């Protein structure tokens, strides 16, 4: 019965992950995977006589209470931070499982594969824990979002990594318990030093990679304690996170190594400011100008960016889209893969505002439609709509797939200023003849434009 229940949990993991692949089925997929995890945990705790049913119930009550509190209190704009925290807690949980195996047994009796599994789980779990909370700090504003660099940083990180590998080999071969704890401490430090030199706008890739790491740590812990459910669940998370990481780097036309080690955005990785920014004349717009352009269009494409999240303007965007549709104007949302601060950030925000799923277009769907679109309304996006990525071989972002919004009939950009995006470069789009710049908070701009639209 125990093995059958573990098998049922594994099936729920797989089916749940499959349903997470589409917005219409994502909620049910999340529930199925959660039920699978609940089954696996309860079966393990009860079958091994670790705790009794009363303790299980108490744990469920505390966990459910914390989950409900987070769901109610945490703003949608803070979802990237929450995901980073989840990754960190997942990593440290796996590392602690492996650490318990070290504490409760004589490490000198471990088989080679057991020692390797424990060490891998501890290392990856510890790196994931501290790395995730550095990412959390950058996204939350507790730590500077820019890359934090110091002289010889790569050398220090390299020496620490070599030292960690050496101590890990010694601990496994000599059966020294102290070696496991040295490895743990070193891995915690490496997690911090590995993420601090990465810029805040690269956090979507970092979060995805750390998510993969948390799964790999869980799978390794599963091998260490011979838990098939943990192995399967961890492998699924690890594989899914790695696939998503690859997709994110491809969306930026950058290698994973460049994201992790180039200090992009600091001026050292090719992402420094290029030329003067904001010194050319622009076509300024008011809410009335925006309303007129939208009101006389036949098709509108809305491009959300991080500015939408900061202003919490997703509901205002939905109301404006509804008003345009009531005027028989076709409205879609074009979502770039790296818009926002985590994979799917814009999708989550717009889904919270009940924007219909069929209106959410990805890069491949939206780009062919842009030349036939009358008006593109950009809400806080920058680098993902920068024509320099297409036209300027000398640009740091050259080759990065973008939304070719300048091919549309009219472009309206809502930004607070002409400040550059993460790449630190100017955006030629702002100065084009068919571009209107509406300098305002995204939420206020949308509300004012909606009021002007209704007054037409």
Render pLDDT for 208-227 as a digit per residue (tens, 0 to 9): 899 999 999 999 999 988 88
Among residues 227, 261, 295, which one ends one of the domains?
Answer: 261
Condensed to tens digits (0 to 9), the pLDDT of residues 322-374 reads: 999 999 999 999 999 888 777 788 888 898 899 998 899 999 999 999 999 99
d(CA 220, CA 232): 10
Predicted pLDDT of residue 80: 83
Clarify whether residues 123 and 88 are in a common domain: yes
Predicted pLDDT of residue 270: 41
d(CA 233, CA 220): 11
Residue 391 appears among annotated catalytic residues: no
Q: Give the range of the structural domain holding residue 439, as residue numbers without chain letter.
A: 287-454
d(CA 172, CA 118): 10
Clarify whether residues 293 and 417 are in a common domain: yes
d(CA 280, CA 296): 29
Clarify whether residues 192 and 240 are in a common domain: yes
Predicted pLDDT of residue 23: 73
Low-confidence ranges of the chain (pLDDT < 50): 267-274
Clarify whether residues 134 and 256 are in a common domain: yes
Q: Is residue 295 part of a domain?
A: yes
Clarify whether residues 189 and 323 are in a common domain: no
Q: Is residue 44 part of a domain?
A: no
Q: Cα-flanking dihedrals φ and ψ of residue 280, to 5°?
A: -95, 155
Clarify whether residues 231 and 317 are in a common domain: no
Clarify whether residues 295 and 228 are in a common domain: no
Q: Is residue 58 part of a domain?
A: no
Among residues 226, 246, 261, which one ends one of the domains?
Answer: 261
Predicted pLDDT of residue 318: 96
Task: Identify any residues that bridge with 284 across adjacent strands, giving them in sequence order.
Answer: 437
pTM here is 0.80
Predicted pLDDT of residue 268: 45
d(CA 118, CA 184): 11
Q: Exposed (0-12), middle (13-18) or buried (19+): which is 97, by Cβ within 10 Å?
A: buried
How far lies 88's CA from each of 94, 146, 212, in Å? 10, 21, 11
Clarify whether residues 136 and 215 are in a common domain: yes
**The CATH number of the domain where 355 resides is what?**
3.40.50.1220
Predicted pLDDT of residue 274: 46
Query: Judging by DSSP bridges, how do beta strands 375-379 and 410-415 pair with one another?
Result: parallel
Q: Is residue 33 part of a domain?
A: no
Considering the candidates 202, 367, 383, 406, report the single residue annotated as catalytic. Answer: 383
Q: Is residue 9 part of a domain?
A: no
Clarify whether residues 242 and 384 are in a common domain: no
Q: Is residue 427 part of a domain?
A: yes
Clarify whether residues 126 and 191 are in a common domain: yes
Residues 430, 289: contact at Cβ < 8 Å?
no
Contacts of 385 (CB under 8 A, 6+ apart): 303, 336, 378, 402, 403, 405, 406, 427, 429
Q: Is residue 169 part of a domain?
A: yes
Clarify whether residues 245 and 294 are in a common domain: no
Number of domains in the chain: 2
Condensed to tens digits (0 to 9), the pLDDT of residues 144-195 reads: 877 888 888 889 999 999 999 999 999 999 888 999 999 999 999 999 999 9
Alpha-helix residue ranges (DSSP H) falling in 48-111: 53-73, 79-104
Clarify whether residues 325 and 245 are in a common domain: no
Q: Is residue 203 part of a domain?
A: yes
């Amino acid at each position: 019965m125990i093995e059958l229940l573990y098998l049922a949990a594994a099936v729920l993991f797989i089916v749940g992950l499959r349903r997470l692949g589409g917005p219409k089925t994502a909620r049910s997929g999340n529930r199925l995977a959660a039920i699978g995890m609940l089954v696996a945990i309860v079966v393990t705790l009860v079958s091994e006589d670790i705790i009794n049913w009363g303790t299980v119930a108490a744990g469920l009550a505390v966990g459910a209470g914390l989950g409900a509190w987070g769901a109610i209190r945490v703003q949608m704009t803070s979802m990237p931070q929450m995901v980073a925290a989840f990754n960190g807690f997942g990593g440290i949980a796996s590392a602690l499982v492996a650490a318990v195996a070290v504490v409760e047994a004589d490490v000198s009796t471990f088989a080679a594969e057991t020692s390797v599994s424990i060490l891998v789980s501890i290392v990856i779990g510890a790196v994931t824990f501290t790395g995730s909370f550095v990412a959390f700090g950058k996204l939350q504003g507790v730590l500077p979002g820019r890359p934090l660099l110091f002289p010889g940083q790569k050398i220090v990180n390299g020496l620490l990594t070599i030292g960690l590998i050496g101590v890990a080999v010694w601990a496994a071969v000599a059966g020294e318990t102290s070696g496991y704890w040295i490895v743990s401490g070193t891995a915690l430090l490496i997690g911090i030093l590995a993420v601090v030199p990465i810029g805040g706008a690269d956090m979507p890739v970092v979060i995805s990679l750390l998510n993969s790491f948390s799964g790999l740590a869980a799978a390794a812990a599963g091998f260490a304690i011979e838990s098939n459910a943990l192995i399967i669940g961890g492998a699924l998370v690890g594989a899914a996170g790695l696939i998503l990481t690859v997709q994110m780097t491809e969306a930026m036309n950058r290698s994973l190594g460049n994201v992790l080690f180039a200090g992009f955005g600091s001026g050292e990785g090719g992402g420094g400011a290029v030329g003067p920014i904001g010194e050319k004349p622009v076509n300024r717009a008011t809410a009335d100008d925006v309303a007129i352009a939208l009101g006389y269009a036949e098709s509108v494409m809305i491009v959300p960016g991080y500015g939408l999240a900061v202003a919490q303007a997703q509901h205002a965007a939905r109301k404006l889209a509804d008003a345009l549709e009531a005027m028989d104007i076709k409205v879609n949302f074009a979502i770039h893969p790296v818009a926002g601060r985590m994979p799917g950030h814009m999708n989550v925000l717009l889904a919270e505002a009940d924007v219909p799923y069929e209106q959410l277009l990805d890069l491949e769907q939206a780009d062919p439609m842009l030349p036939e679109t009358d008006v593109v309304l950009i809400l806080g996006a920058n680098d993902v709509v920068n024509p320099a990525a297409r036209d300027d071989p000398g640009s740091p972002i050259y080759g990065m797939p973008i939304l070719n919004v300048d091919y549309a009939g009219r472009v309206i950009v809502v930004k607070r200023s002409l400040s550059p995006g993460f790449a630190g470069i100017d955006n030629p789009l702002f100065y084009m003849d068919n571009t209107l710049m509406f300098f305002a908070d995204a939420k206020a701009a949308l509300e004012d434009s909606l009021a002007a639209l209704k007054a037409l």
